[in-house]
């Protein structure tokens, strides 16, 4: 028997194809992270001539590594019509535990067992073709799994009746069954339909309308700890755009820094770190500016991203036209130079990297990367998503390279602005258990606006207003380890970015609890360009028992607050 291994980790192992023409293949699914809410998905494309009309019963053989392992399947069938351009029709069913309706004498054992599915239960009167895609989920997320457990799977065949399948199995023949054209395997989150596109239960207008924080219960100020990590400095009084990561037992925060003004020539990026949350080292300038063709550059902190081997810092570099500055160094945002095409000339993304958290290398100019306003996070499918202006940056690269920028089109955004979205920017997101990705935008209209993706981020709906009240600042949306959803920002339309609050939802639609995170007023010491407001641009990381939040105060100092997850 030839084996193909699929490793189940916290991140999906991806998709592989196996040619099964020799009729000697079995699939070996191994568990490495027993706590991960993942399972193995396997599906087949049946050979021409095999359909529910001629062979309505499908069977496969299973062998477990431990007799006390729990085992379950989720079975679906997709009919492909004769015309390749026609859409798929799909019937989806779930069966768990011993599923007596589907099995023949099934008992947990380390011997080969037969699982039989009656295709007539999925009868499709409109079926006209001779292709049928079928599949199953092997391992439940609560299946009493241990690291190293594994399951072997062998396609047994398609049969004209259940008796034929039983007779085949009783003959002891396991490997010489009629085989499908090929099979594929993929690890996916449990309990949901594993194929895209997802069929939404609500149209986008209704989905957006149902997302609200009106009537949220005031839970008071949540217990927390805070620490000042970048104190006020007279010659570095602008401090903003926090990025946050954990790397090799240390916490790192990066931020944009300037003498006084936001997003101006000479703005650099600093990094500070701590081993215990309470004590922080001296901020280190990692991203430095330079003299370019038409003026000096400025750097904008984009995000930090950590792998096991390296920590990466991404910065957006802008070149500013000299004549766009006032004598005090502030910047004319509305100045336009026709010869150069604008006041800001060019935009590059730079990457710095470190293997020890102390010595940084770079910069490397990254041409195939996208600037982001928040750090990449892992979706249910293992894809990385990060807010990037009015879109998301997405990649399947576990190292955080090769991002693509994708989201609603310029026409869709222009239409939203005509309908009341004053602006669409600084996106953030979460994914619900039905695989729908919900992307939220700051709009400065009093509410966040929403677009959704039903195909893992490849395409997006039109943009519509939610009823989630939010101030004119960047939101941060996410999920807690227990599955609840959160909105971090200012849930008041007061043009003050005050207070910093955390709101919680059980279903991703109704945010019913509201906690104050920080409400200590801050007085700006040195006025400068765009230096106003209070708590701004929070960046979140959940690590161990805590939620960590980095943010700027008055765009002059940087703090980190941590909240024990059990208090939320």
- Helices then strands, counting H and E runs in the chain, come out as 3, 36
Residue 563 in domain? yes
Gyration radius of the chain's alpha carbons: 27
Q: What is the DSSP string of 217-268?
A: EEEEEPP-EEEEEE---GGG-EEEEEEEEEETTEEEEEEEEESS-SS-TT-E
Same domain, 240 and 322: yes
Coil, helix or strand for 193? coil
Question: Which among 284, 285, 283, 316 is positioned nearest to 299, based on CA atoms?
Answer: 316
The answer to whether residues 464 and 443 touch, using CB atoms and an 8 Å cutoff, is no
Highest mean pLDDT of the ranges 41-50, 257-266, 407-416: 407-416
Mean pLDDT of 340-351: 70
119 pLDDT band (50/70/90 cuts)? low
Which residue range is the domain that position 130 belongs to?
2-189
Mean pLDDT of 534-562: 96
Nearest 5°: phi and psi at 209?
Answer: -65, -30
Nearest 5°: phi and psi at 130?
Answer: -125, 25
The answer to whether residues 149 and 71 touch, using CB atoms and an 8 Å cutoff, is no
Residues 6+ apart with CB under 8 A from 418: none
State how far the Cα of 45 lies from the Cα of 58, in Å rounded to an integer: 12
Same domain, 185 and 210: no
Output the 3-class SS for 432-447. CCCCCEEEEEECCCCE
Residue 199 in domain? no
264 pLDDT band (50/70/90 cuts)? confident
Same domain, 151 and 258: no
Peptide bond into 447 cis (omega under 30): no
CB burial string 234-253: b at 16+ within 10 A, e below: eebbbbbbbbbbbbbebbbb
Same domain, 396 and 259: yes
**336: pLDDT strictly greater than 80:** no
Q: How far is CA 266 from the centre of its chain?
A: 33
Same domain, 42 and 92: yes
**487: pLDDT strictly greater than 80:** yes
Residues 6+ apart with CB under 8 A from 565: 480, 481, 482, 542, 545, 546, 547
Same domain, 129 and 266: no
Asked which of 25-39, 455-469, 537-551 is least confident by mean pLDDT, the reply is 25-39
Residue 271 in domain? yes
The answer to whether residues 151 and 66 touch, using CB atoms and an 8 Å cutoff, is no
Same domain, 429 and 470: yes
pLDDT single digits (tens) 78-97: 443 333 333 333 333 333 22
pLDDT single digits (tens) 135-183: 454 544 445 666 666 666 666 666 667 677 666 666 544 333 333 323 3
pLDDT: which is higher, 371 or 35: 371
At residue 243, the pLDDT reads 97
At residue 70, the pLDDT reads 59
Query: Of 140, 162, 189, which residue sits at a domain end?
Result: 189
pLDDT: which is higher, 3 or 199: 199
Residue 522 in domain? yes
pLDDT: which is higher, 14 or 544: 544
Q: What is the DSSP string of 132-198?
A: EEEEEE---TTS---TT-EEEEEEEEEESSHHHHHHHHHTT--S-S---SEEEEEEEETTS--SSSP
At residue 564, the pLDDT reads 97
Residue 536 in domain? yes
**345: pLDDT strictly greater than 50:** yes
For the chain, how many structural domains are there in total?
2
Residues 6+ apart with CB under 8 A from 378: 10, 11, 384
Same domain, 291 and 363: yes
At residue 130, the pLDDT reads 37
Pairing of strands 217-221, 511-518: parallel
**315: pLDDT strictly greater than 80:** yes
At residue 226, the pLDDT reads 97
At residue 537, the pLDDT reads 94
Same domain, 277 and 352: yes
At residue 396, the pLDDT reads 87
**271: pLDDT strictly greater than 70:** yes
Residue 133 in domain? yes
State how far the Cα of 444 lies from the Cα of 473, in Å rounded to an integer: 8
**99: pLDDT strictly greater than 50:** no
CATH code of residue 258: 2.120.10.10
State how far the Cα of 72 lies from the Cα of 501, in Å rounded to an integer: 42
pLDDT more than 90, % of the chain: 45
328 pLDDT band (50/70/90 cuts)? low
Average pLDDT, the chain: 75
At residue 109, the pLDDT reads 59
Residues 6+ apart with CB under 8 A from 218: 514
Pairing of strands 511-518, 38-45: unpaired
Same domain, 391 and 468: yes
pLDDT single digits (tens) 278-310: 999 999 999 888 888 777 888 999 999 999 999
Mean pLDDT of 472-482: 93
The answer to whether residues 449 and 460 touch, using CB atoms and an 8 Å cutoff, is no
At residue 348, the pLDDT reads 84
**498: pLDDT strictly greater than 50:** yes
Same domain, 462 and 317: yes
Nearest 5°: phi and psi at 558?
Answer: -120, 130
State how far the Cα of 261 lies from the Cα of 325, in Å rounded to an integer: 11
Residue 170 in domain? yes
Query: Of 154, 189, 224, which residue sits at a domain end?
Result: 189
The answer to whether residues 491 and 470 touch, using CB atoms and an 8 Å cutoff, is yes
Residues 6+ apart with CB under 8 A from 132: 46, 50, 51, 52, 77, 78, 79, 80, 119
pLDDT: which is higher, 321 or 162: 321
Same domain, 240 and 331: yes
pLDDT single digits (tens) 176-209: 333 332 333 333 333 333 446 777 888 999 999 9
Coil, helix or strand for 77? strand
Residue 196 in domain? no
**274: pLDDT strictly greater than 60:** yes
Query: Of 140, 166, 189, which residue sits at a domain end?
Result: 189
Question: Which among 247, 190, 192, 248 is positioned nearest to 35, based on CA atoms?
Answer: 190
């Amino acid at each position: 028997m030839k084996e193909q291994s699929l490793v189940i980790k916290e991140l999906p192992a991806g998709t592989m194809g196996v040619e099964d023409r020799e009729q000697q293949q079995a699939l070996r699914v191994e568990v490495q992270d027993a706590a991960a809410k993942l399972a193995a998905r396997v599906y087949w494309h049946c050979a021409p001539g095999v359909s529910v009309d001629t062979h309505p019963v499908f069977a496969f053989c299973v062998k477990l590594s431990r007799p006390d392992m729990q085992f379950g399947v989720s079975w679906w069938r997709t009919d492909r019509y004769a015309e390749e351009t026609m859409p798929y029709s799909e019937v989806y069913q779930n069966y768990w535990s011993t599923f007596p309706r589907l099995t023949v004498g099934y008992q947990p054992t380390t011997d080969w067992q037969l699982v039989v599915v009656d295709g007539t239960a999925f009868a499709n009167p409109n079926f006209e073709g001779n292709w049928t895609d079928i599949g199953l989920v092997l391992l439940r997320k609560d299946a009493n799994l241990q690291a190293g457990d594994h399951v072997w799977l062998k396609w047994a065949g398609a049969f004209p009746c259940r008796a034929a399948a039983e007779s085949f199995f009783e003959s002891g023949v396991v490997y010489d069954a009629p085989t499908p054209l090929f099979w594929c395997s993929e690890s996916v989150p449990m309990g949901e339909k594993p194929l895209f596109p997802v069929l939404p239960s609500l149209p986008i207008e209704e989905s957006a309308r149902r997302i609200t924080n009106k009537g949220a219960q005031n839970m008071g100020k949540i217990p927390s700890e805070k620490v000042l990590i970048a104190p006020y400095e007279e010659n570095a009084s602008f401090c903003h755009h926090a990025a946050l990561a954990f790397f090799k037992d240390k916490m790192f925060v990066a931020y944009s820094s300037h003498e006084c003004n936001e997003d101006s020539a000479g703005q650099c990026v600093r990094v500070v770190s701590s081993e215990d949350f309470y004590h922080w080292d001296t901020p280190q300038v990692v991203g430095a500016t330079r003299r370019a063709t038409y003026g000096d550059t400025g750097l904008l902190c984009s995000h930090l991203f950590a792998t096991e081997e390296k920590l990466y810092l991404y910065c957006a570099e802008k070149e500013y036209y000299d004549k766009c500055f006032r004598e005090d160094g502030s910047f004319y945002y509305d100045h336009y130079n026709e010869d150069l095409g604008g006041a800001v000339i060019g935009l590059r993304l730079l990457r710095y990297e470190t293997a020890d958290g102390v010595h940084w290398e770079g910069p490397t100019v990254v041409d195939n990367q996208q600037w982001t306003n928040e750090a990449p996070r892992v979706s249910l499918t293992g894809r990385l998503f990060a807010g990037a202006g009015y879109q998301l940056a997405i990649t399947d690269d576990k190292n955080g390279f090769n991002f693509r920028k994708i989201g609603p089109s310029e026409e869709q955004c222009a239409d939203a602005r005509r309908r009341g979205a004053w602006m669409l920017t600084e996106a953030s997101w979460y994914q619900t258990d039905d695989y729908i990705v919900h992307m939220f935008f700051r709009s400065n209209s009093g509410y966040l606006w929403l677009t959704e993706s039903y195909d893992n981020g490849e395409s997006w709906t039109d943009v519509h207003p939610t009823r989630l009240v939010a101030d004119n600042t960047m939101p941060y949306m996410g999920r807690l380890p227990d599955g609840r959803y959160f909105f971090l920002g200012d849930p008041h339309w007061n043009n003050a970015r005050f207070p910093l609050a955390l709101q919680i939802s059980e279903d991703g639609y109704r945010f019913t609890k509201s906690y104050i995170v920080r409400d200590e007023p801050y007085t700006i010491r040195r006025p400068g360009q765009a230096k106003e407001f209070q708590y701004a641009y929070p960046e979140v990381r959940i690590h161990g028992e805590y939620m960590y939040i980095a943010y700027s105060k008055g765009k002059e100092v940087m703090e980190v607050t941590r909240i024990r997850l059990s208090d939320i």
